[in-house]
Amino acid sequence: MNCTCFIVPKSVLERFANDKSLTTEVRRAAFESSLLSDLLRGSRTQHAAFISASQTIAAHLEDLAAEPESVVFDCKHTQTLPGRSVSNPGTSADPSSARACTQALRVAEFYQTIFKRNSVDNAGGTLVSSIHFGRKYDNAMWNGTQMVYGDGDNKIFTDFTGGNDVIGHELTHGVTQHTLQLGYTDDAGGLNESLSDCFGSMFRQWETKQTSQTGDWLIGSDIIGPTVKEKGVTCLRNMANPADPHALAPQPANYSQITPGMDPHFTSGPPNLAFCSACKAVPGNSWDTIGQVWYHVMMTAGAHPTMSMKDFAGRTRQAAIQLFGAEPEVASSIDKAWKAIGL
């Protein structure tokens, strides 16, 4: 699985790096963030292969712990990972440390409470976070083993630990890595990013006690910096309206608009909309029904590095009937949502 697994698409950073209306300092931060993100790809690919092999031979038959531990390292604005260990990170005077530690545990609590999953690997794996990575690094990522957070440049983006949906999104890449093992090209790549948006958004709604109807379905709204806010930007992506012009990275809304080689951050638009529409069609919480269907497919389909969106859609239709046969509105809402985006 050659998974980029960044919250901000490379094309967005490149666009800012070449935007002459921005200061030299802001453009340099965007350029360096794009470059660093490229250089970090190799470790993810290698670790994904290791996970695949481990699952094949059933390498972990016992949980590491009954519940995961959350540890934090401080890179001190270097690119050295994991950085220096932070003592008592959850109560640290450094807000980035406190947020990274406590929010990782909250994501784990969400997965345990709602889906009975023990950490991202379902085996009590330790949640590792590195903060203050690089200088004005405009991204956050799951690198195959841990979370990495930049501080942002405070113009385009702010501290990436400030977005609970960002943390939920990136840690879900770890969940996908341990379940479907989706690749990062074509349909599988779009599904990979979409699943992270879906579960990141569910986590945000769960933590803030929002229903499917009251949630805003925005991704990254809490990390948008003042420079782009002044231009009317409200978020990275809008799951309810992928083509939203107020999003930093507007997406196609229909499967027919996806073209070969398109960045997964953009091809995730149609499945994002299908998930959001299905959730909004069923009163209540997104994780009570539709989220359960999506997670069931992740858990039962096995490793599918090249899974198509059509295949995933079909599996959710079947799972809805299997899980919620007594509630036909669940299967109906999922079917209608997929058909609306061309699947």
What average pLDDT does this structure show over 56-77?
81
163 pLDDT above the threshold of 50: yes
Choice among 173, 178, 265, 304 that is catalytic: 265
Are residues 151 and 32 part of one domain? yes
Are residues 277 and 223 part of one domain? yes
Q: Which of the four pLDDT bands, split at 50, 70 and 90, describes residue 6? A: confident
Instruction: Tell me the average pLDDT of the chain.
Output: 92
CATH number, position 30: 3.10.170.10
Q: Is 207 a catalytic residue?
A: no
pLDDT of residue 147: 96
- Asked whether residue 37 is assigned to any structural domain, the reply reads yes
Q: Which of 149, 174, 199 is the last residue of a domain?
A: 174
Are residues 103 and 213 part of one domain? no
Q: Which of the four pLDDT bands, split at 50, 70 and 90, describes residue 212? A: very high
Handedness of CA 74, 80, 84, 88 (dihedral sign): positive
**Residue pLDDT, tens place only, 227-256:** 999 999 999 999 999 999 999 999 999 999
- Asked whether residue 63 is assigned to any structural domain, the reply reads yes
- Asked whether residue 304 is assigned to any structural domain, the reply reads yes
Are residues 222 and 99 part of one domain? no
Which of 217, 192, 190, 183 is closest to 202 using CA atoms? 217
User: Tokens representing 297?
Assistant: 């497919």
Are residues 133 and 21 part of one domain? yes
User: Tokens representing 73?
Assistant: 């390292």
Q: What are phi and psi of 200, to 5 degrees?
A: -65, -40
In this predicted model, which residue has the larger pLDDT, 76 or 55? 76
- Asked whether residue 290 is assigned to any structural domain, the reply reads yes
- Asked whether residue 1 is assigned to any structural domain, the reply reads no
**DSSP class per residue in 121-183:** TTS---EEEEES-TTT---EEE-SSSEEE----SSSB--GGG-HHHHHHHHHHHHHHTTT---
82 pLDDT above the threshold of 60: yes
What average pLDDT does this structure show over 272-278?
98
Choice among 170, 173, 296, 304 that is catalytic: 170
Are residues 72 and 214 part of one domain? no
SS3 at position 71: strand
283 pLDDT above the threshold of 80: yes
**Residue pLDDT, tens place only, 119-154:** 999 999 999 999 999 999 999 999 999 999 999 999
Question: Which domain, by its residues, includes 210?
Answer: 186-340
Are residues 190 and 169 part of one domain? no
Q: Helices 328-340 and 269-281 sit at what angle, rounded to 10 degrees?
A: 150
Query: Amino acid identity of 159?
Result: D
CATH number, position 262: 1.10.390.10
* Residue whose entry in the numeric block shows the structure tokens 């390498």: 59
Are residues 303 and 224 part of one domain? yes
Are residues 170 and 27 part of one domain? yes
- Asked whether residue 5 is assigned to any structural domain, the reply reads no
Q: Which of the four pLDDT bands, split at 50, 70 and 90, describes residue 2? A: very low
226 pLDDT above the threshold of 80: yes
Are residues 195 and 167 part of one domain? no
43 pLDDT above the threshold of 80: no
pLDDT of residue 57: 47
What average pLDDT does this structure show over 70-90?
97
1 pLDDT above the threshold of 50: no
Q: Is 265 a catalytic residue?
A: yes
pLDDT of residue 121: 96
* Run of H or E residues at 84: strand 84-85
45 pLDDT above the threshold of 60: no
What average pLDDT does this structure show over 209-237?
97
- C-alpha span between 334 and 253 (Å, rounded): 16
Are residues 222 and 167 part of one domain? no
Which pairing describes strands 127-131 and 147-149: parallel, antiparallel, or unpaired? parallel
Beta bridge partners, 131, equal 74
Are residues 213 and 104 part of one domain? no
54 pLDDT above the threshold of 60: no
Q: Which of 116, 141, 174 is the last residue of a domain?
A: 174
What average pLDDT does this structure show over 184-193?
95
49 pLDDT above the threshold of 80: no
- Asked whether residue 4 is assigned to any structural domain, the reply reads no
Query: Both ends of the chain: CA-CA distance in Å?
Result: 25
- Asked whether residue 3 is assigned to any structural domain, the reply reads no
